[in-house]
């Protein structure tokens, strides 16, 4: 299982969907236009306080958006701000791009790896223009076995897997201009 960043919680939407998100990002989204009236330090400290409250005092990693909103309103009221809750919380930031690695393999066996890496780089560049918060690549194991022509996992598969992971990291570092973009390879 992938460990959450230290500043994140898993937020449960009203539809039951669970989305990992930074507490500070959600705090800014919940405050909305009122965020312009508050200092960035206040917003940051409120998010850190709520994160500490849920993780350390309650021992929870998963929180509903409604519960987080309620605690944020309580905290801001205690600090002397007049806060009203809106009927519906804003949607969580969801700039997630998911790509299947097997889709980059193509049909020909000639120069298969070279074409694969070229197509992969082009797709990363194309998708990075939208400044996603998360790039998720799925199908790594299947893709590696197809590229290497192996029926069972072997040393060549492991080396190719490592090469693909390193290549994706380099591509994302060069092409993604957001410091908060997460790379997930499954």
Other C-beta atoms closer than 10 Å to the C-beta of 158 total: 12
Contacts of residue 119, Cβ cutoff 8 Å, sequence gap at least 6: 104, 106
Q: Burial-class residue 38 by CB neighbours within 10 Å (0-12, 13-18, 19+).
A: middle
Residues 47 and 105 in one domain: no
Average pLDDT along the chain: 77
Listed as ranges, residues in the chain with pLDDT below 70 are 1-4, 28, 31-37, 83-95, 107-111, 129-131, 175-181
Domain end (from 34, 51, 78):
78
Residues 100 and 181 in one domain: yes
Domain containing 73: what range?
Answer: 8-78
Q: Is residue 85 part of a domain?
A: no
Residues 66 and 100 in one domain: no
Domain end (from 28, 48, 78):
78
DSSP state of 3: P
- Digit-coded pLDDT (tens) for 107-155: 655 557 778 888 888 888 887 766 677 788 889 999 999 898 889 999 9
Q: Is residue 89 part of a domain?
A: no
Residues 61 and 120 in one domain: no
pTM for the whole thing? 0.49
Domains: count for the chain = 2
Residues 100 and 73 in one domain: no
Q: Is residue 90 part of a domain?
A: no
Angle, alpha carbons 43-46-52 (nearest 5°): 140
């Amino acid at each position: 299982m992938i460990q959450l960043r230290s500043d994140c919680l898993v937020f449960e939407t009203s539809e039951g969907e669970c989305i990992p998100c930074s507490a500070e990002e959600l705090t800014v989204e919940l405050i909305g236009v009122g965020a312009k009236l508050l200092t960035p330090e206040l917003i940051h400290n409120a998010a850190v306080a709520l994160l500490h409250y849920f993780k350390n005092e309650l021992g929870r990693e998963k929180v509903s958006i409604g519960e987080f909103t309620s605690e944020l309103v309580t905290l801001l009221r205690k600090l002397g701000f007049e806060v009203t809750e809106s009927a519906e919380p804003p949607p969580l930031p969801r700039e997630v791009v998911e790509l299947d690695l097997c889709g980059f393999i193509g049909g020909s066996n000639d120069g298969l790896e070279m074409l694969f890496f070229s197509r992969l780089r082009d797709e990363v560049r194309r998708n990075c223009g939208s400044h996603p918060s998360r790039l998720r690549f799925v199908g790594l194991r299947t893709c590696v076995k197809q590229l290497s022509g192996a029926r069972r996992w072997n040393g060549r598969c492991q080396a190719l897997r490592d090469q693909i992971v390193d290549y994706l990291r380099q591509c994302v570092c060069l092409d993604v201009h957001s410091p908060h973009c997460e790379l997930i390879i499954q």
